[in-house]
Structure 1
Amino acid sequence: MTHAIDTTAPVRLGQFIDGREQAPAAVIEVRNPSRVAHLVGTVAAGTSADVDAAVRAAAAAAPAWAATSAEDRIALFARIADEIDAVADELATLVAQENGSVREIIRREIIGAAGAFRGVGDHLADKLAPVRHDSGPDGASVVVSRRPYGVVACIVPWNAPLILTANKIAPALAAGNTVVLKPSPFAPLGVTLIGRIAASILPAGVVNVVNGEGEVGAALIGHPAVRKISFTGGGQTARHVMRQAADRLTGVHFELGGNDPAIVLDDADLAVTADRIADSAFRRAGQVCFAVKRVYVPRAQLAEFGRLLAERVDRITVGDALDPRATMGPLNNAGQLEKVRGLRERAVAAGRDVRELGTVLDAGAWDEGHFLRPTVVLDAAHDDELVREEQFGPILPVVAYDTEEEAIAMANDTEYGLCSSVWSRSLERAARVADRIESGMTIVNSHLFSPVGTREIPFGGWKQSGIGWEGSPYGIEEYLQFHSVDVQALPQARAQG
């Protein structure tokens, strides 16, 4: 059962509810951020009635799905992963055109999405196994088990749409929940197709996909049959989601933004550090929740580090996401472009050392897309707007510090706490500094996870970077709730009477 994807013409997708695709009455156009005039495709513009139908279908499917065995779920997930693999090349081309990340990055993302379905079963039996506690010869016992919530609303963003979708729906489904999936209108095509693949393999109603704008999101969050909401995106939207969820005390899981610090210690290998920090900071044009967003460097090494960083960033090639020569594509949308451009312009106006770098592959087409050149600000101050805010774009400030204590204090002086990194030749020293950073995750000598980190680290943040965790053996726990049975024996005399 291969879901063919034709990328030679605009892709047109309807809602997918209760096992059936439904033709849209109205559509949302999806434009290519590399060439805005290019229509990549359309998705159905959903309504609150569509949301109600999807949630009702999910609620009706929930009891039977919760009753399936872990083995049966794992077998179905393997089929979903195989189907994703079968269309990976076409899907990568499509999503690069709607998202703006270069195709090679999207191709790796698809591998991760398929891997999320394959790997979610590794610890499933252990997580679902009831634990029994016997009190002794009187026959009393307690059984602690875990049960699914029921219907889970999964709301995903545009920046890494496929892996973030898989990281939500795979554990939610593995836990025995059913799902209503809402993609971002800025990159809905690939997410809708991933949802459709899963929905076509699983029983009808277990996965449903509804696209739309604010009306659809509000209807989904406020629906009385939705038992948990998993949302990845910005803090402002999360506050809105939480206020709506509060009316029904609906559970929430949030993976939000980050303003990740990188602390470069005075014994770091500056060349390696500059290279790896650039890899993180400008991946997906900086539109990654966990990426280096600000760098703290010893004042005595600022000039040398700045030179090495600028040399590395200057090797970035900027162009169409499908151009194999491009190592960085455009920003996803006009709003993000204007935000980052404004941050850069205000840094220039403040007299900062702002370097616009990189090679433009097609200057004639530059204004046809949401392009910016990668930029470093080599003398930023900790209180600069660019340092205090999450820029979510290809601009990186570097801040000098005088003492290790000052660097740690500045790294922690933020409302965010997602990821962080420490750079040093001494792993012991780096680990001591890492232990003092206020974030959910800290990486030493990289800002990307190792293979074991990808597999084992619970992904999430402190402070305003989120509520709850994704990935790893712990991620499935977000979609399970406890149910305990306490069996108490009657007194012997009364039982006989």
Structure 2
Amino acid sequence: MGSTSDVTVRVRQGAVAPLGTSLVGTYAGGEAWTAGAGSLEVRDPGRLDEVVGVVSTATVDDVDVVVEIARRAQAGWRARPVEERAALLTRAADDLQREHEDLAVVLTRENGTVLPNTRRELLGASGVLRTAAGWGQDLLGAGSVFEDSWGWVRVERRPLGVVACIVPWNAPVVLAAQKIGPALVAGNAVIVKPSPFAPLAVSLALRRIASLLPPGVLNVVHGDHDVGAALVANREVRKVSFTGGGPAAKVIMKSAADTLTRIHFELGGNDPAIVLDDADLERTADQISAQAFQRAGQVCYAVKRVYVPRALVTDFSEAMLDRVGSISIGHGLDPEATMGPVNNRPQLDRIRAIHSRLAETGADVRMTGRVLNPDRWDEGYYLRPAVVVDADPRDPLVQEEQFGPILPIVGYDTEEQAIEMANATEYGLGSSVWGSDHERAEAVASRIEAGLAFVNHHTALSPLGQKHVPFGGIKQSGIGWENSPSGLGEYLEFHSTLIPWPEAAR
């Protein structure tokens, strides 16, 4: 793919990227546009004086043009055999896997995540596309036929049409892949709107994928809330798939109601981890600390609260602090760094406000970790990881999603109380239970109100899980599913034909 810092685009007029940065804009119908409403700079959250790229934003009128391009392209894409669509998607997956390194560097520089994690994200996105291609070949085709003495029935699955996908900044490439993979193999045309906080790597990846597909099948638009609103409101958009926060989802849902547009939401989580009294505390602390603080805690299904038997709170907290204390905070490209900065100023201010409020309440907050370059600390959105020991279960830190590098440990008296506290929030994305007796741990996990329950781990889905487990949440954590055949079904609708035998029709 060559270096992503010198990608060639067709410049109509408008934004110009400084030397050594990426320039992205609307990509539709196989062409890159850099004219539009204006432009925005994307700065490195670990080195705020460095511009990583420039984004040309779309106008509301641009959105309507892109939707029409996608609508026209979708008819031909839908007509292609599913095997051909799957083959092109597999080719795109192979290309992304082969050329992921440059994109990983761009992603690290724009969203702050350490380079090993962004590499895994790019490779994970490749795997998601490949898996989606396999679902399409397995599940789509001529449909199912049923008959009896009356006649016969054919039941088919058909694409929806134009699908809008709105992706966040924390893991934009893999989260986009989870949407576009099934949507494309199903025969839909897709328009992706990235977050302004991390638009570069995902746009470059999507443009690369789009170049392997017929023009107009995969498109990208950039902009603020007005652009997103225009995309959702367009009557030719048949479905909106959104990953992000609840407040934005509610706005989308209200707008989609005007046109009865289908929606899919993957929203926030406040994942509980229940540590049982027979758990291996050292191993459990190893895994929870690694998972809870990856991407500086900015993961929807990260462990965000830990429930521990009251008698073990001190021992477990010490084990956690030992692990968290070894986290090295620095720039994402620093090979010594194991945690980078948070992504943006609102995130930084939000977590600082949590610290200030906890200090006022007298909570036992332990900030720790190793700062790699203290003299450059103020040049980025850096925070030290923190553990709150014996946190109040009623505190907003426990009840709400913090989405940052701060983790509360809550004591409980009985297993029943732990389950009750785990379920006592409006969220229901992921969860985990930790213990030596697997049957007991599984029984507890089955009672947690969440879309996902892990036992003795709380990590990304395994290849088996990726293939078979629907990813999504209940309650305020989402509507609909990604991954697995259920994720493919989100981008299909039924069409049934009922035909009586000639003699039955008389």
| TM-score after normalising by structure 2 | 0.95
CA distance in 1: counterparts of 2:348 and 2:423, whole angstroms: 28
Q: Where has structure 1 moved over 4 Å in runs of 4 or more?
A: none
Q: Tell me the alpha carbon deviations over residues 187-242 of structure 1, each in whole angstroms, 9 at most, x when there is no partner.
A: 00011112101211100110110001111100000001000000000000000000
Q: Tell me what 1:414 maps to.
A: 425
Aligned partner of residue 6 in structure 1, secondary structure: helix
In structure 2, give the amino acid aligned to 1:29. E
Is residue 83 of structure 2 the alignment partner of residue 65 of structure 1?
no
Q: Tell me what 2:397 maps to.
A: 386
In structure 2, give the amino acid aligned to 1:338. D
Q: Tell me what 1:134 maps to.
A: 147
> Aligned-pair distance for 1:78?
2.0
Is residue 436 of structure 2 the alignment partner of residue 425 of structure 1?
yes
CA distance in 2: counterparts of 1:352 and 1:23, whole angstroms: 50
Q: Tell me what 1:44 maps to.
A: 56
Q: Tell me what 1:213 maps to.
A: 224
CA distance in 2: counterparts of 1:490 and 1:118, whole angstroms: 45
CA distance in 2: counterparts of 1:14 and 1:460, whole angstroms: 30
CA distance in 1: counterparts of 2:304 and 2:467, whole angstroms: 24
Q: Over the residues paired in the alignment, what is the CA RMSD in angstroms?
A: 1.3
> Aligned-pair distance for 1:490?
4.5
Bigger CA drift: 482-491 or 175-184?
482-491
Counterparts of 1:30-179 in structure 2 under 5 Å? 30-129=42-141, 130-136=143-149, 138=150, 140-179=151-190
> Aligned-pair distance for 1:274?
0.7
CA distance in 1: counterparts of 2:63 and 2:408, whole angstroms: 43
CA distance in 2: counterparts of 1:90 and 1:433, whole angstroms: 44
Is residue 318 of structure 2 the alignment partner of residue 315 of structure 1?
no
CA distance in 1: counterparts of 2:134 and 2:34, whole angstroms: 38
Q: Tell me what 1:222 maps to.
A: 233
Match of 1:234 among 227, 235, 245: 245
> Aligned-pair distance for 1:176?
0.6
Q: Tell me the alpha carbon deviations over residues 354-402 of structure 1, each in whole angstroms, 9 at most, x when there is no partner.
A: 1000000000110110000000001201101110110000000000000
Contact 2:432 2:454 in 1 (8 A): yes
CA distance in 2: counterparts of 1:224 and 1:391, whole angstroms: 36
In structure 2, give the amino acid aligned to 1:429. R
Q: Tell me what 2:495 maps to.
A: 483
> Aligned-pair distance for 1:118?
1.3
Aligned partner of residue 439 in structure 2, secondary structure: helix
Q: Tell me what 2:15 maps to.
A: none
> Aligned-pair distance for 1:491?
4.3
Contact 1:5 1:87 in 2 (8 A): no
Q: Tell me what 1:260 maps to.
A: 271
> Aligned-pair distance for 1:76?
0.7
Match of 2:346 among 326, 335, 351: 335
> Aligned-pair distance for 1:70?
1.6
CA distance in 1: counterparts of 2:481 and 2:320, whole angstroms: 33
Counterparts of 1:385-404 in structure 2 under 5 Å? 385-404=396-415
Bigger CA drift: 277-286 or 469-478?
469-478
CA distance in 2: counterparts of 1:457 and 1:279, whole angstroms: 23
Q: Tell me the alpha carbon deviations over residues 267-311 of structure 1, each in whole angstroms, 9 at most, x when there is no partner.
A: 000000111110111010000000100000000001000000000
Aligned partner of residue 245 in structure 1, secondary structure: helix
Q: Tell me what 2:10 maps to.
A: none
> Aligned-pair distance for 1:119?
1.4
> Aligned-pair distance for 1:120?
1.1
Does the C-alpha gap of structure 1 residues 469 and 153 become closer, same or farther in structure 2, counting only changes over 3 Å? same
In structure 1, give the amino acid aligned to 2:124. G
> Aligned-pair distance for 1:23?
2.2
> Aligned-pair distance for 1:126?
3.3
Is residue 309 of structure 2 the alignment partner of residue 273 of structure 1?
no
In structure 2, give the amino acid aligned to 1:426. D
Is residue 457 of structure 2 the alignment partner of residue 458 of structure 1?
no
> Aligned-pair distance for 1:474?
2.1
Is residue 4 of structure 2 the alignment partner of residue 5 of structure 1?
yes
CA distance in 2: counterparts of 1:450 and 1:79, whole angstroms: 23
Aligned partner of residue 211 in structure 2, secondary structure: helix
Q: Tell me what 1:244 maps to.
A: 255
Aligned partner of residue 453 in structure 2, secondary structure: strand
Q: Tell me the alpha carbon deviations over residues 9-31 of structure 1, each in whole angstroms, 9 at most, x when there is no partner.
A: 11111210111111224212101
Contact 2:103 2:205 in 1 (8 A): no
Bigger CA drift: 444-453 or 389-398?
444-453
Match of 1:375 among 355, 363, 386: 386
Show structure 2 runs of 5+ residues with no match. Answer: 7-18
Q: Tell me the alpha carbon deviations over residues 52-96 of structure 1, each in whole angstroms, 9 at most, x when there is no partner.
A: 111001100111111111211121112212221233111111000
Contact 2:133 2:181 in 1 (8 A): no
Q: Tell me the alpha carbon deviations over residues 404-435 of structure 1, each in whole angstroms, 9 at most, x when there is no partner.
A: 00000000001000000000001000010011
Q: Tell me what 2:369 maps to.
A: 358
Contact 1:175 1:479 in 2 (8 A): yes
Give the number of equivalent residue pairs.
Answer: 491
Q: Tell me what 2:14 maps to.
A: none
Contact 2:90 2:133 in 1 (8 A): no
Q: Tell me what 2:12 maps to.
A: none
In structure 1, give the amino acid aligned to 2:374. A
Q: Tell me the alpha carbon deviations over residues 317-343 of structure 1, each in whole angstroms, 9 at most, x when there is no partner.
A: 000011010000000000011111111
Is residue 201 of structure 2 the alignment partner of residue 202 of structure 1?
no
In structure 1, give the amino acid aligned to 2:4. I
Bigger CA drift: 15-24 or 355-364?
15-24
CA distance in 2: counterparts of 1:451 and 1:262, whole angstroms: 22
Bigger CA drift: 393-402 or 115-124?
115-124
Bigger CA drift: 435-444 or 10-19?
10-19
In structure 1, give the amino acid aligned to 2:136. L
Bigger CA drift: 114-123 or 336-345?
114-123
In structure 2, give the amino acid aligned to 1:313. V
Contact 1:78 1:117 in 2 (8 A): yes
Contact 2:158 2:186 in 1 (8 A): yes
